[in-house]
Amino acid sequence: MSYVKAVHATGGRAVLITPDDPGTDVLESLDGIVFCGGGDVDPALYGAEQHPATEADNVRDTSELMLMRAALDSGLPLLGVCRGMQVMAVATGGSLHQHLPDLVGHERHRAAPGTDPLAADASSFGRHDVVVREGSAAFSLLGERLTVNSFHHQAIDDPGKFTITGWCPDDRIVEIIEGTGPVFQLGVQWHPERTGDLRAFAALTEAAMRTKMVV
């Protein structure tokens, strides 16, 4: 519901799409789409063997990759949050780091082991800065630097057809990707829906309104 509230708070109206058996025709009634956080993407989808810490969500993989590719093909404005950003990369030929502690040697991107990402307690999330590339769409939206929350153990390695425009300055983990064309396509690795900073959702709503006006 935190995603629904974020959409509503920024002037949009949320319609939930369940992963059981959606068709791409559902996109015809939408002006924009959010791909939410959740479980890990199956590494087989980007040609890697499964790490012991990876817990793939195959049902969501199937539906979200189908919807992601259809949304990209149709030029639908989109926002990817955490897993949603990772789906953006994998859907366009990219790949992921499966377990960040193996790469960077710490767990600070998801706070203490065993914490609950759905808990209301802010200590359940990691905290770190993000540096944003000057001249990018994300820079115009979010500024040069911001402090974010996070709860993830995987991250983007190859961004696919997207451009990396934000990263954690401490370890260079990718935190923002975006499209290169005129359509709003933004991925963030943190969880803005769990904060008071809803600029990413507001930008999606604005882009969706422009799409609706054109249609």
Q: Confidence band (pLDDT; 50, 70, 90) for 120?
A: very low
What tens digit of pLDDT does each residue of 44-54 get?
999 999 999 99
- The reported pLDDT for the residue numbered 113 is 55
- pTM of the full predicted structure? 0.92
Q: Confidence band (pLDDT; 50, 70, 90) for 142?
A: very high
Q: Residue 212 pLDDT more than 80?
A: no
Instruction: Return the SS3 of 158.
Output: strand
Residue type, 204: L
Question: Rg of the Cα trace of the chain?
Answer: 16
Q: Residue 22 pLDDT more than 90?
A: no
Phi, psi of 9 (to 5 degrees): -65, -20
Q: Residue 114 pLDDT more than 80?
A: no
Write the CATH number for 198: 3.40.50.880
Q: Is 213 exposed, middle or buried (0-12, 13-18, 19+ CB in 10 A)?
A: exposed
Q: Confidence band (pLDDT; 50, 70, 90) for 190?
A: very high
- Residues serving a catalytic function are 82, 191, 193
- The reported pLDDT for the residue numbered 175 is 98
CA angle in degrees (0–180, nearest 5) for 92-180-58: 25
How many separate domains does the chain show?
1
Question: Mean pLDDT, the chain, as a whole number?
Answer: 91
- The reported pLDDT for the residue numbered 122 is 58
**Residue 164 belongs to domain spanning:** 2-214
> How far is CA 123 from each of CA 84, 120, 189, rounded to the nearest angstrom?
22, 9, 17
